Structure 1
Amino acid sequence: MADGTPTLKDFALALYAREGVPPACLTLQESAGLDVNILLFAAWRGAALRLEIGAADIAAARALVAEWHGEVVRPLRAIRRRLKTGPHPAPDARTAKLRAEVQAIEIAAEIIELEELGTLANGPPAPPDANAAALAFAAMAQAVEAFAGRSLTSEEEATVRRIASAV
Structure 2
Amino acid sequence: MTEDHSRLRDYAVALYGRAGVSAACLLLQERTGLDVNVLLFAAWMGAARGHALAPAEAGQAEALVRDWHREVVRPLRAVRRRLKTGPAPAPSEATARLREKLQGLEISAELVELDELGRFGEALAPAAPDGAGRDKAAAGMIAVVAAAAGRALETEEKDAVDIIARAAGSAPA
Partner of 2:13: 13
Question: Structure 1 unaligned runs (5+)?
Answer: none
Partners of 1:56 and 1:152 lie apart in 2 by: 17
- Tell me how many residue pairs correspond in the alignment: 167
Q: Deviations over 1:16-61 (max 9, x none)?
A: 1111111111110000101000000000111000012111111111
Report the CA distance shift for 1:3/1:72 in structure 2 as closer, same or farther (over 3 A): closer
Which secondary structure state, in structure 1, belongs to the residue aligned with residue 152 of structure 2?
A: coil
User: % of aligned pairs identical?
Assistant: 53
- Structure 1 Cα separation of the partners of residues 104 and 144 of structure 2: 26
2:153 aligns with 152
Measure, in 2, the Cα distance between the counterparts of 1:82 and 1:2. 37
Between stretches 2-11 and 15-24, larger displacement belongs to: 2-11
Aligned to 1:161: 162
Cα-Cα RMSD = 2.2
Offset at residue 63 of structure 1 (A): 1.3
Cα 1:24–1:3 change in 2 (3 A) is same
* Matches of 1:9 and 1:50, distance apart in 2: 17
Q: 2:142 is matched with which residue? A: 141
Higher mean C-alpha deviation, range 99-108 or range 122-131: 122-131
| TM-score normalised over the length of structure 2 | 0.89
CA shift for structure 1 position 123:
4.0
Q: Which amino acid aligns with 2:146?
A: E
TM-superposed deviation, 1:145: 0.4
Q: TM-score, normalised by structure 1?
A: 0.92
- What secondary structure is seen at the aligned counterpart in 1 of 2:119? coil
In the alignment, structure 2 segments of 5+ residues that lack a partner are 169-173
Instruction: Tell me how far apart the structure 2 counterparts of residues 127 and 94 of structure 1 sit (CA, whole Å).
Output: 49
* C-alpha distance 96-3 of structure 1, shift in aligned 2 (>3 A): closer
Residues 52 and 126, structure 1, Cα contact 8 Å, conserved in 2: no
